[in-house]
Amino acid sequence: MNKAQSIKTDVLIIGGGPAGLSAAIRLADILKSKGLERDIMVIEKGSAIGSHTLSGAVIRPEVFRELLPDSFEQIPFDSKVAKSGTLFLTARRRIKSPVHAPYMGNKGNYTASLGAVCRFLAEQAAQRGVGVYPGFAMSDILYDRHGNVCGAKAIDTGVDQGGKHMANFQAGTRVEASITIFAEGSRGSLTKKLIDKFDLQNGRNPQMYSLGCKEVWSVKEGSIAPGEVYHSLGYPLSLKEFGGGFVYGLKDNKAAVGLVVGLDYADPSFDIHAALQVYKQHKSVRKILEGGKLLEYGAKTLPEGGLYSLPRLYAGGALIVGDSAGFLAMPALKGVHLAVRSGMLAAETAADALAAGDFAEKSLSTYETKVMESNIYKELRPVRNFRQGFSKGLIRGGIRFAAQLISGGAGFCGRLRAHDDKDTTKTIAGYKGKPFKERFGAKLDFDKVLTFDKVTDIYFSGVAHDELQVPHLHVNNPATFKTVNIAEYGAPRFE
């Protein structure tokens, strides 16, 4: 049997998205300015940097000027936002709001392929001597004898679906580190373990999530200009479903179209991927896409709970950054700039800890203080009750949001509690509204021209799995899967 190899580094960063790569760049710069030589390693599970990143975003650029003052102009943003609007959609009509919904203005922002931006950040990191290693998923956290985090272990390879070692079995490499930065994005598998192990969510609201499905299209010339940005509320969502759609114009006649929906909906048959296909059939979206071609698809969760749902951001030997921590400016649907900022603050903390040789919880707790004194806090504080306020539907949510806007975020009664998204889902028998399929009928017959079934869209996501690999999705409770998940909630069957 092949024994696990061990390697050592000073700082291990798990995840090569905007948060992890910014942490690496900033840390390398600070260490250089202090004359300190330390090893920094970024490990990314995608086969290449950017391959797990959804393209087509609108990004706030200011923080990038601080991260890369000398090479800001070379960052491959796509286009400066030239025109933007908020639309209210009904099944047949669109009403353009004369003003932007609060926090949704995009003046000074850029459209971008986030994958291209991440590839650029990875090059910048590598030029500073950071080891950037795509193609390795970290699967276990390593702990030292005091219980502090001291690195992570990569997933074993050459294991069949049943968990048996095959002839090509190779134990995953153990990467030992003084500091491990968790930058895995939303619902990171190791971050969840870390939060559980150190009870980091204690006293905080549970995290609330939405799911975003996005497609990038090649469109006919003149369908939408680069830098044209639209957010929409309403159709195909009902007043009980929280979320909205977007269409962004990119260079070279491309467009990103997507739908983001809070996972606290009641209808157990609601399907966000299918709802995106319905959204694309609305005449104001259809006219942009018609005659074009699907290029890419992706789906990802967003952590929406805001300030009150942030876990404690540190443990002995560990820091949490970006979406893994829950830094998302929800009303604006933007997380990239907060991911970068949190990466930079984690880097400052890590640099101090490396200089002092102290990686204990107390030393790393300065990261949370830095976050609370930073623009992240300033941006999240006024909207601290935003998402929870919408948990009882859009009308009550709108009234609460109005109260929050005039009270600096407090609203009618201060801190609003949140609940786990799943607690809102009704059983098939218990759901009294019109089920998803009845609401949209023939619109759910996908034509593979404008609209696509899940399997086709997944083909366009570029995800590749080994036929024999260990499944990474697990049924939590197999004993009740058929009787509860399938029979009561209509979960997809697989035999």
Ligand X SMILES: Cc1cc2nc3c(=O)[nH]c(=O)nc-3n(C[C@H](O)[C@H](O)[C@H](O)COP(=O)(O)OP(=O)(O)OC[C@H]3O[C@@H](n4cnc5c(N)ncnc54)[C@H](O)[C@@H]3O)c2cc1C
Q: CB-wise, 53 or 388, nearer to ligand X?
A: 53
CA 227 to CA 231: how far, in whole Å?
13
User: Which residue in 27, 30, 41, 59 binds ligand X (CB under 6 A)?
Assistant: 59
Least distance from C-beta 76 to ligand X, angstroms? 15
137 binds ligand X (CB under 6 A): yes
The nearer residue to ligand X, 83 or 396, going by C-beta atoms, is 83
Cα 463–chain centre separation: 17
Q: List the structure tokens of 210.
A: 């939405």
Nearer to ligand X, 276 or 354 (CB): 276
Q: Does 457 bind ligand X (CB under 6 A)?
A: no
Which distant-in-sequence residues (6+ apart) come within 8 Å of 31 by Cβ? 37, 38, 351, 354
Cβ pair 341, 328 in contact under 8 A: no
Does 52 help bind ligand X (rule: CB under 6 A)? yes
Binding mask 317-336 for ligand X (x = CB under 6 A): -----xxx---x----xxxx
Q: Is 13 in the site for ligand X (CB under 6 A)?
A: no
Residue among 24, 30, 58, 353 that touches ligand X (CB under 6 A): 58
CA 479 to chain centre: 31
Binding mask 252-281 for ligand X (x = CB under 6 A): ------x-x---------------------
**Options 10, 12, 15, 308; binder of ligand X; rule CB under 6 A:** 15
- Binding of residue 306 to ligand X (CB under 6 A): no
Q: Is residue 43 within the footprint of ligand X (CB under 6 A)?
A: yes
Q: Which is nearer to ligand X, 17 or 389 (CB)?
A: 17
Chain centre to alpha carbon of residue 176: 27
Q: Does 234 bind ligand X (CB under 6 A)?
A: no
Smallest distance from ligand X to CB 275, Å: 13
Site track for ligand X across 155-184, x = CB under 6 A: ----------------------------xx
Q: Would you say the C-alpha torsion 185, 82, 109, 234 has a positive or negative sign?
A: negative
Q: Considering the complex, what minimum distance in angstroms separates the CB of residue 111 from ligand X?
A: 8
User: Which stretches within 373-453 are classed as H helix?
Assistant: 375-380, 386-389, 394-406, 436-440
* Residue 259 three-state SS: strand
Is residue 215 a contact residue for ligand X (CB under 6 A)? Answer: no
Helix axes 18-33, 114-127, angle to 10 degrees: 20
Question: Is 274 strand, coil or helix?
Answer: helix
Contact 343, 68 (CB under 8 A): no
- 189 lies in the binding site for ligand X (CB under 6 A): yes
What SS3 class is residue 161?
Answer: coil
Closer residue to ligand X, CB minimum distance, 105 or 435: 105
Which residue, 30 or 183, is less far from ligand X as judged by CB?
183
Contacts (Cβ under 8 Å, ≥6 apart) of 248: 56, 57, 58, 111, 228, 229, 230, 255, 256, 257
Q: In the complex with ligand X, which residue's Cβ is closer, 16 or 234?
A: 16
Query: Which residue's CB is nearer to ligand X, number 186 or number 281?
Result: 186
Confirm or reject binding of residue 365 to ligand X (CB under 6 A): no
> Residue 243, interface with ligand X (CB under 6 A)?
no
Residue 487 sits in the site that holds ligand X (CB under 6 A): no
Dist. CA 28–CA 9, nearest whole Å: 13
Q: Is 212 or 234 the residue whose CB approaches ligand X more closely?
A: 212
Nearest to 49, CA basis, from 110, 111, 112, 123: 123
CB of residue 84 vs ligand X: minimum separation in angstroms? 12
Helix (H, G, I), strand (E, B) or coil at 346: helix
Of 137 and 410, which CB lies nearer to ligand X in the complex structure?
Answer: 137
- Nearest 5°: the CA angle 256, 260, 265 is 160
Residue 311: which of 211, 182, 411, 424 has the closest Cα?
A: 182
Residue 495, CA distances (Å) to 178, 226, 269, 482 in order: 45, 46, 20, 11
Per CB under 6 A, residues contacting ligand X are 14-20, 43-46, 52-54, 57-59, 137-138, 183-185, 188-190, 212, 214, 258, 260, 300, 302, 322-324, 328, 333-337, 339
